[in-house]
Amino acid sequence: MTDQIQTRLDSGQARVVEGPASARAPRHQVEVDQNFGLPTRLFGVTVACYLGFLGLMLASFAAPMLAIPMVIFAGFIVAGFGVPTIWTRLAGNKTKPLSYGQFQNEGVMTHTGRCAPRDAAIQMLILPVLIVFWGIAIAIIAALVG
């Protein structure tokens, strides 16, 4: 039981052989969907809401010192959605994003089951739309106070 492998090799009781050829080939067991399962239109609306909020803040508090932070924030938003957009279009990605019609017919599959299209769109857009409404409220308050 505690015999060393080297002594078995030296005595000829064991031998080293090459592994099977298929073991060396890369295995891709998981098919990766790089398109997030949602139509591009929903992501466009999300970006528009975030950039709309920044536009509201820039218009409400127009000051030269806010120009640079607003450009930086806009850059982060564009990068935050631009990098995944580039990732979905890389070579080797065999999947295509759902069209809006397919999304309306099929909905989207989540970890807990299929989600209806209306529910998926509401879940995705609730935060960006609330942020825009928050920006409108801030603009109204600033106009009333100032």
Which pLDDT value is given to residue 48?
Answer: 97
Residue 7, domain member (yes or no): no
Is residue 2 pLDDT above 60, yes or no? no
pLDDT tens by residue, 72-105? 999 999 999 999 888 888 877 777 888 888 889 9
Phi and psi torsions of 109, nearest 5°: -90, 125
Question: 68 vs 10, 47, 71, 124, CA distance in Å?
Answer: 73, 19, 5, 29
Greater model confidence, 139 or 10: 139
User: What pLDDT is recorded for position 74?
Assistant: 96
Q: Tell me whether residue 130 is in a domain.
A: yes
Residue 125 lies in a domain: yes
95 within domain boundaries: no
Number of domains the chain is built from: 1
Residues 7-30, mean pLDDT to the nearest whole number: 68
Q: Give domain status of residue 139, yes or no.
A: yes
Helices (H), strands (E): how many in the chain? 6, 2
Residue-level pLDDT at 72: 96
What's the predicted TM-score (pTM) here? 0.73
Domain membership of residue 123 (yes or no) is yes
Q: What is the mean pLDDT of residues 34-60?
A: 90
**In which domain, by residue range, is 80 found?**
37-90+118-146
Residue for token pair 């508090």: 61
Q: Which of the residue ranges 57-66, 89-98, 103-112 would you say has the lowest mean pLDDT?
A: 89-98
Please provide the average confidence, as pLDDT, over all residues in the chain.
85
